[in-house]
Structure 1
């Protein structure tokens, strides 16, 4: 059994805390304390006025001394964008974006390969829809993609539901941990699922009011 890999997922709400103020460094300070190996982020802005025109994925990556890959789900004039990002302490050797069937808001699946040691692993990042029928269609599409992948895989993100099982990724923390709303967590909307190559060592939420969701941190090890 190898060394634990610390994976974190968080819907950052474009850096806006429950006080209504956008303070990206506040969130970065929380993440830095827990020293994750890789991070899956949702609701990330790039050059939007509401978040001071910053490329948030790049800013967080620089603050945490990590590599990053940004995947926009919404574009305005090709300049202002909104979407997801993966940060990693190790090089990101692959990055793809798969649009998912969606309703009122575009949704997608970000696929990255994290070059950890020899084999590496695939880290997938998503933010599912609000409507359960929409989510069912999106999960079916994600499962199709998963069946085409080989080797260790982790899927992280804001699933917008507590009732979710993915047969291709049976390893997940039990019990689920509530992450929303951050000031009084009741719903386990943010989840991490892994292929049978992995074993869960530890899972916890990080106390913070830097977003309306709590970050979820999961330690996994690759089984020998």
Structure 2
């Protein structure tokens, strides 16, 4: 885990609705009623970055970083993140690159972990990452059920203290071409997070449409922020011609969603559009 340059000040919610530009991503929402407990605002972003390339395989990490930076998130969940993987991402350590570029800490979950092509070089890894400028207390990556020769998937978790509130943040990327396997994976995620999860946020590319059996597993114990406060279809894939909602921000019942938006500021930065949400989390011991 890398270190950040400095701790951020408390962020305020951005006014205005979704208007294509990330600087106008989230509506202010209605005024909140008096809360029985102190709460903290947490802005999260989920983004399948396609190893830093557009759908046409134009590799440009700066474009991805610019999209993230404009949102000013407290926590980011990235999927399809290379680490010394291959020439497609110039053999770079992408989580380290984003950490340095954005001034954030990171944790990484290597779901694929291969020997280097040249002895002595770093291991070739592919998986998910979490970025945050806030303190990370702990993290873990647990591999999810896999069938046959399908790609290994995982659930990356981190305990993060944001604005004085402890948050359990989980990031995942489920199997893209096997609904039965996704059902096994979502069942395992429910087991790992627990039906009584508290102050929990899960994001990711779930590769499943709303209402499918695998998503019913997820909404059986977590709330879908888009369903609660999003406007429109919420389509995120593909980025140039969006026709499917497969990227999600979800949360436990003690977390309140205030706004959610699909970020359309640069559709060519990846083959997915990112989703941002403003959430409110009870403060507690950490």
**What is the TM-score normalised by the length of structure 2?**
0.75
The aligned counterpart of 1:100 is 144
Which among 259, 264, 282 is matched to residue 202 of structure 1?
259
**Following superposition of structure 1 onto structure 2, how do residues 42-191 of structure 1 map, counting pairs within 5 Å?**
42-48=79-85, 49-77=87-115, 79-103=123-147, 104-130=150-176, 131-147=178-194, 150-163=197-210, 164-165=215-216, 166=218, 167-174=220-227, 175=230, 177-191=234-248
Query: Can you give the 5+ residue segments of structure 2 that lack an aligned partner in the other structure?
Result: 1-34, 117-122
Structure 1 residue 110, shift from structure 2 partner: 0.5
CA-based RMSD = 1.7
CA contact (8 A) 1:205 1:217 kept: yes
1:118 is displaced (CA, Å) by 3.8
Which secondary structure does the structure 2 equivalent of 1:98 belong to? strand
Name the CA distance, whole Å, in 2 between partners of 1:99 and 1:84. 12
Question: Deviations 1:120-145 (Å, cap 9, x if unpaired)?
Answer: 11000000112100000001101111
The structure with more radius of gyration: 2
**Structure richer in strand, relative to its length:** 1
Query: Is the Cα–Cα contact under 8 Å of residues 40 and 282 in structure 2 kept in the other structure?
Result: no
* 3-state SS, counterpart of residue 62 of structure 2: helix
Kindly state the Cα deviation for residue 169 of structure 1 after the two structures are TM-superposed: 1.0
SS at match of 2:183: helix
| C-alpha separation in 2, matches of 1:217 and 1:190 | 10
Which residue number corresponds to residue 222 of structure 1?
Answer: 281
Q: Is 1:34 equivalent to 2:71 in the alignment?
A: yes
For residues 216 and 31 of structure 1, what CA distance do their matches in structure 2 show?
Answer: 10
1:199–1:223 CA contact under 8 A, matched in 2: no
User: Does the CA contact (< 8 Å) of 1:171 and 1:199 recur in 2?
Assistant: no
Cα pair 1:179 1:188 within 8 Å, conserved = yes
Instruction: Identify unmatched segments of 5+ residues in structure 1.
Output: none
